[in-house]
Amino acid sequence: MNKGLALQIWESLRRVAIGYTLAAVVGIGGGIAIGTNKLLFRACDPFFQILRTIPPLAWLPIALAAFRQVEPSSIFVIFVTAVWPVLINTAVGVQEVPQDYRNVARVLQLPRLQYFWTILLPSAAPYIFTGMRIAVGLSWLAIVAAEMLTGGVGIGFFIWDSYNSSRMSDLIVALIYVGVVGFVLDKAIYYLGKAVVQSDGT
């Protein structure tokens, strides 16, 4: 485990990046699907409401059993943590497209694909980024906790290892690192959202 703190963080960030990206893709795609289809929304919503309350770490054993490897299991935990806020916010954003904009689309007889790109997506974008911002914070919470349990590499493991070896100063430094990285992640998504949504003018 003789890697620097930066490398440990890098490992954790890499896992978060993979799991979070998967969650964003599935969350936005799924959110648009259930947001535009009432029947699908009614069918899925109860499941989402129950599944999203399951704490991230509770998924870890089942992931370990299914994947039998630490790496995909950690990524799965990130995914399953981050997907719900993105999914639910996207669905709400799609459902909340103002009637005014829908009416414009109807009177112009805007083709579906064009409606999607010029009205639905820009209108839902603020909601999607709200979900993505909640999700990135949760992902970071989850990865640190997951790595404490799985061991091997990552900042979570480093913290746990420091504790076990009574290296309390290292532990405190690591905590500060975790906090700063979490802060940077949150701001990164915030500014990304701001850049995208503002270039759209909303």
Partner 1 sequence: MELDVGFDGKRENAMAMLNSMDPTLVPTAPPADFLTLTGLTKVYPTPRGPFTVLDGIDLTVAEGEFISIIGHSGCGKSTLLNMVAGFTKPTTGEIRVQSRLVTKPGPDRMVVFQNYSLLPWLTVYDNIDLAVKTVYRDLRKPDRQALVEEHLEMVGLSEAARKKPRQISGGMRQRVAIARALAIRPQVLILDEPFGALDPITREELQDKLLEIWREHRLTVLAITHEIDEAIYLSDRIVMMTNGPAAKIGEIVSVPFPRPRNRQAIAEDPDYYTLRNHLLDFLFHRFALHDED
Partner 2 sequence: MTASSTTGVAKPPGAAKDWLQKLGPQVLPPLLLLIFLLFVWEVLCAGDKPRLPPPTAIVKDSWRLISDPFSIAAV
Site residues for partner 2 per CB under 8 A: 39-40, 42-47, 62, 65-66, 68
* Positions in 103-122 near partner 1 (CB under 8 A): 103-104, 106-111, 114, 118-119, 122
- In the complex with partner 2, which residue's Cβ is closer, 60 or 171? 60
Supply the minimum distance, in Å, between the C-beta of residue 71 and partner 1: 40
Distances in Å between the Cα of 66 and the Cα atoms of 16, 19, 50, 83, 178 are: 20, 16, 21, 19, 29
Q: What single string gives the DSSP state of each residue in the chain?
A: ----HHHHHHHHHHHHHHHHHHHHHHHHHHHHHHHH-HHHHHHHHHHHHHHTTS-HHHHHHHHHHHH-SHHHHHHHHHHHHHHHHHHHHHHHHHHT--HHHHHHHHHHT--HHHHIIIIIHHHHHHHHHHHHHHHHHHHHHHHHHHHHHH-SSSHHHHHHHHHHTT-HHHHHHHHHHHHHHHHHHHHHHHHHHHHHHHHTT-
Say which entry of partner 1, partner 2, none residue 45 contacts (CB below 5 to 8 A, set by partner kind): partner 2
Say which entry of partner 2, partner 1, none residue 101 contacts (CB below 5 to 8 A, set by partner kind): partner 1
Size of site (CB under 8 A) for partner 1? 18
Supply the minimum distance, in Å, between the C-beta of residue 182 and partner 2: 32
For position 195 contacting partner 1 by CB under 8 A, the verdict is no
Say which entry of partner 2, partner 1, none residue 107 contacts (CB below 5 to 8 A, set by partner kind): partner 1
Say which entry of partner 1, partner 2, none residue 181 contacts (CB below 5 to 8 A, set by partner kind): none
Say which entry of partner 2, partner 1, none residue 43 contacts (CB below 5 to 8 A, set by partner kind): partner 2
Supply the minimum distance, in Å, between the C-beta of residue 4 and partner 2: 36
Supply the minimum distance, in Å, between the C-beta of residue 141 and partner 2: 25
Residues that bind partner 1 (CB under 8 A): 100-101, 103-104, 106-111, 114, 118-119, 122-123, 200-202
